[in-house]
Amino acid sequence: MEARAGPSAAGYGLGMRTDPLSPKPASPAEERVARRVQRRWWVFSALGAIGVVLLLGVVITARSGVIGVDEEFMGELVEHRSPFWDAPSLVFNVIGAGVVGVFVVPLGVAAVLLLRRRRWAAFYWITACALSAGVVQVVKHAFGRARPADIMVVSDYGSFPSGHTANAATLAVVLGVILRRVWVWAAGVLYTVAMLLSRTYLGAHWLTDTIGGLLIGAGVAVVLWAPFAHRLLAEQERVRGRGWIWQHRES
């Protein structure tokens, strides 16, 4: 009988060439790192992320909320306010939090991951979003920093840290970890930096608020990666080349 290549091999090669959402194969070294991370690194990640944010909060409180670099940076952005920059900043204000940022974006991303057969990835994403938002609120109420006086939008209590920036950083790190593509990391960094700048431009946060939010969002995503690391890689290999849930491909 004539031997022929299985459909899975053909599908795998085609998927890798044409599907931008297909993560690259895991190397043996990456699998070993994932196992080590899952066992013990999350402890150090957690302590480091929490420690840096709390230290920044203590410094801000000790200085009565007044930091020179904050005022200088805010002054520069306020001086260059114009309708051209108002529009994108207000768009980021909507998509970064509120109903869109807290419900629509997280549930939408989770739905896409589930449609891609990535149940562990969806669980990791939703857990990271929820924990990041929770930590932000706890720290906000712990330090109670006043927002800048020249604010252009309506915001909730507490300036430190920035919830919008935390949400953006969580999205960037989680999707970077799940998809493991350079373009995903690059887009995530650009999105987070744009969110950071928009929050200060709108007068909703000081610069150090956005740095605190970035550290919380990225820190929570990395901390939660530890218990999910090996499961995410195993799931990735299990569903590789199978596409969306409505695409029935032979294995």
pLDDT, greater one: 25 or 5:
25
pLDDT at 124: 95
What is the dihedral sign for C-alpha 103, 108, 109, 113?
A: positive
What's the pTM value of the predicted model, to 2 decimals? 0.77
> Which one, of 83, 112, 52, lies nearest residue 201 by Cα?
83
Mean per-residue pLDDT over the chain, rounded: 82
pLDDT for 199 beyond 70: yes
Dist. CA 181–CA 184, nearest whole Å: 5
Angle at 241 between CA 228 and CA 109, to 5 degrees: 50
> Which one, of 76, 115, 66, lies nearest residue 245 by Cα?
115
Residues in the chain: 251
pLDDT at 213: 92
pLDDT for 153 beyond 60: yes
Residue recorded with tokens 């032979």:
250
Q: What structural domains and CATH numbers belong to the chain?
A: 34-239 (1.20.144)
pLDDT at 8: 45
